[in-house]
A and B are shown apart, each in its own frame.
Chain A
Amino acid sequence: MPSTANSSVSLAAGLPASPGRELAGEHSMRMNISKLNFYYGEKQVLFDISLGVAAARLTALIGPSGCGKSTLLRTLNRMHETVRNARLDGEITLDGQSIFLQDVTQFRRRIGMVFQKPNPFPKSIFDNVAYGPRINGASRPLSDVVEASLRRAALWDEVKDQLHKSAYELSGGQQQRLCIARALAVEPEVLLLDEPCSALDPISTAKVEELLVQLKSSCTIVIVTHNMQQAARVSDFTAFLLNGSLIEFSPTPQLFTTPADSRTEAYITGRFG
């Protein structure tokens, strides 16, 4: 695919240090961010970010609070546009096509998003999962889609007998997996997760992590986390952000064992953050 080749070139050009170049060579890129600057009003929060998201891999964005990792994630499905006076320059592509030239609702259907706190709708479990297929026009029977999505989110066995109960009757961990199922129901090409486990207990966190590892074979995943162990456990690539700049982007084992930048090393060894 020519688009992939283009992405790789811009990725390699935009990356700060050498490790990124290997990434570009080995994997096809699903999304590509190049020279992204982001502003809230006058305040610039992201500086010249260039980053490739590898297809069918899990990319983690780590960094201390306020480093801009959530902001970066939210540009990937253009969710930043809901914020007044947010603006950006630079380019983001999905399969080689600029995401900013597409119809925003059509585009968002291709990118699933899971938020920091579970945010099920005040509806039944079934209706939560069926929401996306309903508004997008489902091709298959809804009950099939709901069952398949709940199975993919490893929640089916726990809720199959109570699909018509309110989603609020589920535990926090179940709610978050419900939100993942809801996102999967529209069969997104890319799944974005914004600190999906920060409100969960360790057992629920383990379940969600296991789920992510299973999902990445069929879905490209980007996860924001400030839990470094989590990034190390589940991700294939890790990007370290600091004060709105991309400091280092490497295969996860490499970033955590032999970081190229001293600031990365300082962060992962717990000297700050």
Chain B
Amino acid sequence: MTARVLWRKSLSAVMLSLTGVCAFVAVSVLFLILGYLVIHGGRSVNWDFFTKLPAPVGELGGGMANAILGSAKLLALASLIGVPLGLLGGVYLAEFGGHAAGFVVRYAADLLNGTPSIVIGIFAYALLVLPFKHFSTFSGAFALGIMMIPITLRSTEEFLRAVPLALREGALALGASKWRAILTVVLPAAYRGILTAVLLALARVAGETAPLLFTAFSNRFWSPGWNQPTASLPVMIYTYAVSPYDDWHRQAWAAGLLLLGLVLVINLLARVVLSRGAAVRRS
């Protein structure tokens, strides 16, 4: 073996191991976080954690039932705001959007997607908190809903575009109007993809803290209705983690574990939905 070949082979080996190590590090970060959460928070994940209100300052125990319910309410309302807007906007882009209008909407959606979440929080604060002079579940859900719009919109567009033209023509040739063809043929053909996108958008905003800090704020008690400040998991984690109490630190870890678990479950669900065989056979 000549020196040149030897040099090439060793360089290849070095590079291969380097990329392999980097890939390993990238993956192991997730497992490190997961392991850390389990070690520190696992002990505090118990029945009380899911069912009890936070204990008064200085007392041990208590739970985060109000934050769990608060997060659920926030996510549900955020979906009600973000999903219809994103979905119908995506339908417009994929089916109707002309060249110029399509470009503007698409570009704006991408910019909105890249907008720092704290900025969206300020926006919601100025629009829905200041005029009413109090924090509310609604304002928090509004901020999260805005964040869901661009993700839902762009994915809906992508999945609708992937529906073969032949299906649209088939429906039109039978005398369907355009909106009818979209509603009865194109959307059903793309629903798995769109559902996946909605789930991923949910997973994305489930962990958002910044937009909630000055919209939904937080609450040590149950939050009745939609007009009161509410506790949420991400904000609870923030509050508890910077507190001086060991018990609160443990509970913050537990809440982190719950949140990460939730996001993982949503992601897995999205994968299952998508892999259940593509609804439309591509050829």
Binding site for B on A (CB under 8 A): 77, 79, 82, 105-106, 108-109, 111-113, 115, 117, 119-123, 131-132, 135-136, 168, 179, 182-183, 186
Contacts and interface: CB of A to CB of B under 8 A. Distances in A.
Could you say which of A111, A115, A183 has the most chain B C-beta atoms within 10 Å of its C-beta?
Answer: A115
Chain B CB count within 10 A is highest, among A105, A136, A182, for: A105
A122 B170 CA distance: 12
Given A135-B175, A136-B175, 6 more contacts: A79-B169, A105-B176, A115-B170, A119-B167, A135-B174, A135-B176
Contacts of B283: 117
Contacts of A132: 174-175
A111 B283 CA distance: 27
Nearest to A77: B173
Contact of A117 (B166, B175, B184, B280): B166
B175 A106 contact: yes
A109 B174 contact: yes
B173 A108 contact: yes
B64 to A, nearest CB: 43
A90 B52 CA distance: 78
B281 interface: yes
Interface in B148-170: 164, 166-170
B31 to A, nearest CB: 38
Interface of B: 164, 166-177, 180, 184-185, 188-189, 279-281, 283
The B interface is mostly helix, strand or loop, or mixed, namely helix
A135 B170 CA distance: 13
Contacts of A82: 168-169, 172
9 contacts: A77-B173, A79-B173, A106-B175, A108-B172, A113-B173, A131-B171, A131-B184, A135-B180, A136-B175
Contact of A105 (B168, B177, B188, B280): B177
A120 B172 CA distance: 13
Contacts of A182: 170, 174
Candidate in B175, B177, B281 with the most chain A CB atoms within 10 angstroms: B175
B175 A186 contact: yes
Q: Which 4 A-B pairs have the closest CB atoms?
A: A109-B175, A113-B173, A119-B166, A132-B174
A112 B283 CA distance: 24
B280 A122 contact: yes
Contacts of B280: 122
Contacts of A112: 173-174
A179 B174 CA distance: 11
Given A115-B169, A117-B166, A168-B281, A122 B174 contact: no
B269 to A, nearest CB: 21
Nearest to A107: B175
A136 B184 CA distance: 13
Nearest to B166: A119
A133 B141 CA distance: 43
B162 to A, nearest CB: 12
A121 B164 contact: no
Nearest to A135: B176
A240 to B, nearest CB: 25
Contacts of A79: 169, 172-173
B184 A135 contact: yes
Contacts of B173: 77, 79, 108, 111-113, 115, 183
B172 A115 contact: no
Q: Which of B167, B168, B173, B184 has the most CB of A within 10 A?
A: B173
A179 B189 CA distance: 17
A117 B283 CA distance: 9
A115 B188 contact: no
Nearest to A199: B283
A132 B171 CA distance: 8
Contact of B169 (A111, A119, A120, A186): A119
Nearest to A109: B175
A180 B169 CA distance: 14
Contacts of A120: 170
A192 B188 CA distance: 26
A120 B171 CA distance: 10
A62 to B, nearest CB: 22
Contacts of B281: 168
Nearest to A131: B174
Given A122-B280, A135-B184, A105 B167 contact: no
Contacts of B169: 79, 82, 113, 115, 119
Contacts of B164: 119
A182 B173 CA distance: 10
Contacts of A111: 173
Contacts of A136: 174-175
